Structure 1
């Protein structure tokens, strides 16, 4: 089971998210909730078992999501963080990525995106919702190159896929499951807006991931 902890100052949102995760036969266990950053750190000290992942809002009263994230990285670097927020300004997304998050989805996203994000992140595959990726890449194009970068794992998948290896061959090379390879590929296509495998190859060549 993937253990998570929900941090959001809106009680209806917390309750709705918890109800969905606990009542749809999902591989997810909610260890608790907090309505603020202060409340989160008090409760983390009281838990017998730390959550694998925190679902974190940004706009909260006593500590912002950015401040909570900074403290989490200092005190609990092993906990993965999925940002789940209505605040989707590029500056905020970029700042949280620089501090270190495993994923970011908008509160407007459907619940199946939340499930996909939790499962992907639990398998060490970063997850950024389609709308979040579009914001990052659109602003990057306007500012001249400030774009989201592939993770080390994604670069490996790009390299092997562009070299003509099948999904199974990539899985064997990277010592991961075929399902995880597929998740990496789907995440790459979503993150960078690729339509075809050739788009990915061209990107890999242009950014020096593979050399012709």
Structure 2
């Protein structure tokens, strides 16, 4: 069971988002919060796995809260839902510890997919943010451990990696390859182990670097 808490500056909206995710398979809605001094304590006491935090404006306090949550509850995974926030601030949210991002355009299915992905050890970013992340990180110093590993991947793993790097969701990959979503997740885990990387952003970078996909 995945313990989920929802946080919004307005309680009525956190409860509405909570209602959207509650009732889904394997999800236990623990609580709906506003930002408060008791937030971190509540997350720890209730053994929350995923915190969905709505961000409506660039606010340093939100960045500080996410940092504090990560420090006090290192096993907690934070999924941010942004509304009317610019791309620069979204990157800041990711850099301070958000492991996933969805936008106000995301539907229930994408929100649930994000929750399941984070719980299974993956990061999750809405398709609208993928190119921004690439532009931000592609020029970073490449890890030497990522070099010359593409030959270790099986043909099926290469297919999965290509589809994922092209922006396909786990369900879309499963439908295209006629396999289960769980099998897709297993392939992604094996790929990350084989090429020694830890984030889905680095998966896309690896695919580009090794000509598995090409940027337009």
- What TM-score bracket applies, with the shorter chain setting the length? 0.5 to 0.7
Task: Please name the residue that 1:74 is paired with.
Answer: 71
DSSP-derived class of the 2:37 partner: helix
What is the CA–CA distance in structure 2 between the aligned matches of 1:108 and 1:131, rounded to whole Å? 10
Query: TM-score w.r.t. structure 1 length?
Result: 0.66
How far is 1:104 from its partner? 0.7
Gaps of 5+ in 1: 171-176, 195-199, 208-212
Q: Deviations over 1:148-171 (max 9, x none)?
A: 98xx9xx79x9458744434xx9x
Residue 3 of structure 2 is aligned to residue 6 of structure 1: no
Q: Deviations over 1:42-97 (max 9, x none)?
A: 5336x3x3201111122479973211111112211121111112144222122222
Aligned residues: 177
TM-score where L is the length of structure 2: 0.65
What is the distance in 2 between the residues matched to 1:148 and 1:79?
Answer: 29
Say whether residues 1:107 and 2:112 are aligned partners: no
Q: 1:72 to 1:86 in 2, by over 3 A?
A: same
For 2:16, the equivalent position in structure 1 comes to: 16
RMSD: 3.9
Query: Cα offset for 1:8?
Result: 0.5
Q: How far, CA to CA, are the matches of 2:114 and 2:57 in structure 1? A: 22
- Mapped partners of 1:87, 1:180: distance in 2: 31
**Which residue number in structure 2 is paired with residue 95 of structure 1?**
92
Output aligned runs, 1:124-163, within 5 Å: 124-137=121-134, 140=135, 146-147=137-138, 159=149, 163=153
Gapped regions of structure 2 (runs ≥ 5)? 161-181, 192-198
In structure 1, which of residues 51, 67, 72 is the aligned counterpart of residue 48 of structure 2? 51
Q: Give, in angstroms, the shift of residue 99 of structure 1.
A: 1.7
